[in-house]
Structure 1
Amino acid sequence: MMNRSFLSLICSFLKGVNQKIIKFNNQIIIKSDPGCINCSTPIFMKRIYLVLLCTLVFNFSHSQKAKKDYAEAFKLAEVWLEAQKDFENLPGITAAVIDDQELLWSGAFGLANMEENLKAQVSTICSICSISKLFTAVAVMKLYDEGKLRLDDRVDDILPAYKLRQKYSGSGPITIRSLLTHSSGLPREAAYPYWTGPDFPFPSKEEIDSKLGDQETLYPASTYFQYSNLGLTLLGEIVEEISGVPYDEYVKKNILEPLELSDTRPEMPKELYGEKLAIGYSSVTRAGEREKVKFFNANGITPAAGFTSNVEDLGKFASWQLRLRDTTETEILKPSTLKYMQNVHWTDPDWTRTWGLGFAVYKGPDGGTWVGHGGSCPGYRSALQIDLKNKRAFSVMINASGTNPSKYINGINGIMSKVESSKENESVETEKDLSEYAGYFSAQPWWSEAYVSPWGSKLVLLSLPSDNPQEDLTFYKHIEGDTFRRIRDDQELGETLVFERDESGQIIRFKSHGNYSEKINP
């Protein structure tokens, strides 16, 4: 695939010589302008040939870069997710991995509706709760790009209903910027108990506004990070006030529809509940059960917590961000605006929390910058995380509370990080079929089980369950017959792993450190 920066350079050159450029799927189609009087001259044609030659050279060199085959990694990730779903008693879990503009992998495990035994699909939608804040932030910044608001505009200058009392006389102003960075000092919530079950009484916009005068700030503005659903709710009201369009309508017309996010909505669609919209379930009770959570809609809190989506739509949303960061063309936002949003704009005094404009911004496992957001609503957990350096994104949704979707993103990314490039494996013998060793083996009573899988020319063993699968992988090199040896961290060989067969030649167990683990069918 042609690099978009290089593509833009070519397009700029051709536009300068009166050529019409059509870009489709990162390819260029050149059409002569009928009004161009120089388009058939020898000098012009030489320029065209030079550009095309550069393009071919670039694409050839780009294709020679070492590539990685993640098929075995995703197979292992599927085994891990299926196991974790069972061990943690999760109803269902869906996940997707995006590589820039490509969906690398997606998977669904468990049930969207336990009462009807309805399986989860990658198209299953869930409440994404606070990931809604990213759409609100984009809406605000679109108005910023259009010159309709400034980040340092005061909230009380924009919203007539804003009557919240400033408790600290020496405080600076509460601005759009401080709402986006959760540094405004506002209370976390509006003055209603909408996180309280079983009914979750989310208030309307009018009800929220009517009680703003009963609330006061927790801190002086721009002093501490204080996560605030109320703050993002007020940003949704600012979008309405400045655009003159209802919040839901503005987001649909200006963000969801242009990005073709057909399964993303600023609501919980009642008509899809229990079918395409997964039913949400509670945290695990002492009895080891999860209870069905009552249906809700976030109403006036929608800009902070009311959206629904699925993992592939969130993947498209991430691809748009990666695409926009790598171009000079406006697509909903200016590229510079999105980059600005994804810079650090707030650092807490203890240096443990950093935030952008709407986005969480933090250091990833490889030291690069990651951005994203998580979501936690009654019966649903979700996360979208984007690795800016490697142009990769992960989305995970779980239709249950009391679990951590970021753990699954870290696990999938960790498993993928173990894959070597194809060039690193070119000289390795891979004649032996290792697939016959794949399967589950009992680790009782010390642990639950282990899964053995081919990994290129090696075998890999993963202990289950595992909160950190990348740390619980053990690799083995084939020696001869059914004998393997562990590959140490320093690449020296350690103890043996010997598989044994029954009379029909089927693998039935392995022997390690003089002890056996029987093959099982969980």
Structure 2
Amino acid sequence: MPRALPIAPLLLLTSCCLMTSDARGQTTPQAELVKALAQLKQVTAAEVERGILNGFSIALVDDQRVVFSAGFGLADVKRKTPARADTIYRVGSISKLFNAVAVMQQVEGGRLDLDEPVQKFAGDFHIQSRFPDAGPITLRQLLSHRSGLIRESPVGGYFDDQQPTVGASVRSVADCALVNRPNTQTRYSNIGATLAGYAAQTVAGMAFDFYQRQHILGPLGMSDSSFAITPAVRRKLSNSYMRMANADGTFRHEASPLFELGTIPAGNLYASAEDLARFMSFIFAEGHTADGKLLLRAETLKEMCTPQLTGATNGFGLGFSVGRFGSFKAVSHGGAVYGFSSSFIALPGPKVGVIVLANEDIAMGPVSKLAEAALELLLQAKLGRAPVAKPAPVKLDAAALSAFAGEYESESYWAKLEVNGDKLRANIASQELDFTPLGPTKFRADGRFAHNGPVEFSRDASGQVTFTALGQKFSPAPSNPPPVPPAWRKFLGSYGPKFIPAIVSVRHGHLYVMTENMVDYRLTPLNRTTFAFSPGLYTDEHLVFNVDASGMARSVVLANMELKRN
């Protein structure tokens, strides 16, 4: 497991002064910044020591300046190459922010309209609908994930390593069907965001990556960033690592594959933390670049950072996720793509923000922890506001903890809880989490999958222990589950690419499927070979087994893509 590297880059800032003002118009003393960075040093050292992340980079932004940037751990484990402030990472769905800017530039130019049918601008897009009264799909819906589109396209989706064009990915949905009526449900869709970017590139008359270089990345001075792998990107690109699921429910840890996504606008950006800091300053400057050029009007950015669901105070704007960080409005996006995890959080009010980029897959827990700690410390340095006190852990004896141990199920997941010292160790649908007690029945969940996740235990009317976690209620799994139909035994196993297989298993009398090396989702039978996904990545979508004459499944259709049995 990698050890902490010297964190000297933090100390280089002791000669800097954060010349900003707090809410009363007073300048923040240099000592406050130095103190904050010393505390951040402890947080980053502990995270390197924990070992989930091999390497990561952080940038802190105060309006038009990067007040801190550095790398920690290793960008290349084998060669012992340290991560740096300018190390390049794949940033996953943070790409969607740049995609939205491209779309809105074309809206400002009169070549796109947010509320016209998207087919007007992308005439080769077609999809089937089982809703006869469904209205048209619009760019506004696509950018706010309310289009009703499927999550992934059959070509160019997350399971496809053949590197098709954006157009091929868009056209591949022609024989797919809408999951929901447009503008009725919020359902995250990578092909939806891609379709919006495809419309922008079509009316602009140039490939998406070229458009980004010419009209967004270039003007912002993001010289280390690209939507395509170039020789310059490769020289600074971090290696990346991921847990890959095995058919027996275990995982192996390997270097992740590197290929271009067919959904380029939705997730194919390569960038450094320092470059993303320039994009954040563009937000704080209300659409202006560092040299004063206007890329996007202030009123356009304001609309992008406003939840599009009428009356909502949080949710998706146009590209941005809108919520709260403490008492402040936050506009943000996370990213997770083959071996990389990332977080981008900007607070437009105090004009501060943080970028965290890591070279480990499915590592939202530690990335969120780093982002939260760094942003709290920056706010404290700038505004003199101490972070909101968090509940302190308490000590529960083994007997109290043992009352919660056991096996559970929720609508989507299975769970197994065991006593582990002064904590509970939880395995929720193949993700291990530590439940740290905060009181007799309240805990927090931490691990690679979550940070400070709320957990609360209670007893139902029959006296059985239940708990809530990950937004779902867990009840005891049946001690005598119903027998598994013999036909289902022929569905079990591994399907698709070895680096991102679909693993079908059975627990407590139910079928589950592991997707994207993340978690097992419970399946509900609709007929002999078609099963509905439970709430999660593929809410309202189906898994279909293709069987031979003996009933043995030879492939499954997941995310509208056929995955052959391994």
What interval of TM-score do these two structures reach, taking the shorter chain for normalisation? 0.5 to 0.7
Q: Determine the structure 2 residue equivalent to 1:32.
A: none
For the residues of structure 2 that align with 1:180 and 1:277, how far apart are their CA atoms?
28
Pairwise CA distance, 1:143: 0.9
The residue matched to 2:148 in structure 1 has which SS? coil
For the residues of structure 2 that align with 1:173 and 1:155, how far apart are their CA atoms?
8
Is 2:122 aligned against 1:120?
A: no
Is 2:236 aligned against 1:276?
A: yes
Is 2:172 aligned against 1:211?
A: yes
How does 1:370-449 map onto structure 2 within 5 Å?
A: 370-404=330-364, 405-419=367-381
Alignment match of 1:343 (pick from 306, 312, 323): 306
For the residues of structure 2 that align with 1:418 and 1:206, how far apart are their CA atoms?
47
What amino acid is aligned across from residue 208 of structure 2 in structure 1?
Y
For the residues of structure 1 that align with 2:220 and 2:193, how far apart are their CA atoms?
22
For the residues of structure 2 that align with 1:276 and 1:401, how far apart are their CA atoms?
19
The residue matched to 1:84 in structure 2 has which SS? helix
For the residues of structure 2 that align with 1:468 and 1:250, how far apart are their CA atoms?
37
Contact 1:269 1:277 in 2 (8 A): no
Q: Determine the structure 1 residue equivalent to 2:472.
A: none
TM-score under structure 2 length normalisation: 0.59
Is 2:149 aligned against 1:186?
A: yes
How does 1:301-340 map onto structure 2 within 5 Å?
A: 301-324=263-286, 331-340=294-303
The residue matched to 2:78 in structure 1 has which SS? coil
How does 1:200-279 map onto structure 2 within 5 Å?
A: 200-269=161-230, 272-273=233-234, 275-279=235-239
Contact 1:167 1:216 in 2 (8 A): yes
For the residues of structure 1 that align with 2:260 and 2:320, how far apart are their CA atoms?
23
Q: Determine the structure 1 residue equivalent to 2:61.
A: 98
Pairwise CA distance, 1:113: 0.8
For the residues of structure 2 that align with 1:252 and 1:414, how far apart are their CA atoms?
33
TM-score under structure 1 length normalisation: 0.64
Cα separation, partners in 2 of 1:333 and 1:403, compared to 1, 3 Å: same
The residue matched to 2:282 in structure 1 has which SS? helix
What amino acid is aligned across from residue 187 of structure 1 in structure 2?
I
What amino acid is aligned across from residue 139 of structure 1 in structure 2?
A
Q: Determine the structure 2 residue equivalent to 1:172.
A: 135
Cα separation, partners in 2 of 1:420 and 1:246, compared to 1, 3 Å: closer
How does 1:75-154 map onto structure 2 within 5 Å?
A: 75-154=38-117
Pairwise CA distance, 1:269: 3.4
Pairwise CA distance, 1:423: 13
Pairwise CA distance, 1:409: 0.8
Contact 2:287 2:301 in 1 (8 A): yes
What amino acid is aligned across from residue 256 of structure 1 in structure 2?
L
Cα separation, partners in 2 of 1:293 and 1:170, compared to 1, 3 Å: same
Contact 2:224 2:232 in 1 (8 A): no
What amino acid is aligned across from residue 294 of structure 1 in structure 2?
P
Contact 1:186 1:228 in 2 (8 A): yes
Pairwise CA distance, 1:203: 2.9
C-alpha RMSD over aligned residues:
3.4
Pairwise CA distance, 1:283: 3.2
Query: Percent identity over the alignment?
Result: 28
For the residues of structure 2 that align with 1:421 and 1:356, how far apart are their CA atoms?
27
For the residues of structure 1 that align with 2:243 and 2:48, how far apart are their CA atoms?
13
Q: Say which one has the larger Rg.
A: 1
More helix by share: 1
How does 1:48-67 map onto structure 2 within 5 Å?
A: 64-65=26-27, 67=29
Pairwise CA distance, 1:251: 1.4
For the residues of structure 2 that align with 1:420 and 1:368, how far apart are their CA atoms?
14
Question: What are the ranges of 5 or more consecutive residues in structure 1 without an aligned counterpart?
Answer: 1-58, 425-444, 448-463, 470-522
How does 1:479-494 map onto structure 2 within 5 Å?
A: none
Pairwise CA distance, 1:406: 2.4
Cα separation, partners in 2 of 1:402 and 1:468, compared to 1, 3 Å: closer
Contact 2:256 2:339 in 1 (8 A): yes
CA deviations 1:46-90 (Å, max 9, x no partner) are xxxxxxxxxxxxx9x997445462212112212211211221331
Pairwise CA distance, 1:272: 4.6
For the residues of structure 1 that align with 2:232 and 2:27, how far apart are their CA atoms?
48
